[in-house]
Amino acid sequence: MLKKKVYLRTLLFTIVFFTFLFLPAGSLNFWEAWIYFVIFLGSTFFINGYFLKRDPELIERRTNSIEKEKEQKIFQTISGISFFVGLLILPGLDYRFGWSSFPLFIVFVADVIILLGFLIVFLVFKENSYTSAIIEVTENQKVISTGPYALVRHPMYTGAIFIILFTPLALGSIWALIPSISIIIIIVLRLLNEEKVLLKELKGYEDYCKKTRYHLIPLIW
């Protein structure tokens, strides 16, 4: 049942993703979008497939969770709209009307960094089975301080930022950097709100914060 639900959602997401990316471009010759499409969906399918087999509880938590925090609902709504409109539709329009472009090597470097972002997310899921799509503390949940969590407190957000920040470059659209940066700001606000909840509800998290000082980027913040 869980597999069917996950793959059905992923299929629906794939159709919407494809439509939002190529319809505004008005052409299937948008080769930057094809590379990005394969990387994004390929990584998503791989991660879902891997953890459906190795850790189905993690996938179930991420699939069935419903956000309860009011601030987090707002953050999720704004970032979701910004992603589809700003990072998919806008680059398609940019391609159609030729507003901007990047050199080939920048596009390819951006694609590699996006893959790195997905790799970070994968490593986070392997290290922390309690990783959820919402802000919550579940029964028997423990503080994870190993793997990527030894470097920063919110490594999944680090991976997400890599993906979001370099999506405009991968799609050859300088204008898409504007919504990209706005989404990153929302992620930071979400992160700060999440820490308030974890400090209040997750035993040992305060000590972990003292030990692991950086939120997202080692040696910077």
Q: pLDDT by residue (tens digit) across 145-167?
A: 888 999 999 999 999 999 999 99
Q: pTM of the entire structure?
A: 0.89
pLDDT classification of 9: cutoffs 50, 70, 90: confident
Higher-scoring residue by pLDDT: 169, 49: 169
User: By the 8 A CB rule, do 8 and 77 touch?
Assistant: no
CATH class of 2-211: mainly alpha
Burial status of residue 219 (CB atoms within 10 A of its CB: 0-12, 13-18, 19 or more): exposed
Distance of CA 118 to the CA centre of its chain: 8
State the CB neighbour count (10 A cutoff) for residue 159: 22
- Distance, in Å, from the CA atom of 50 to the CA atom of 46, rounded to the nearest integer, reads 6
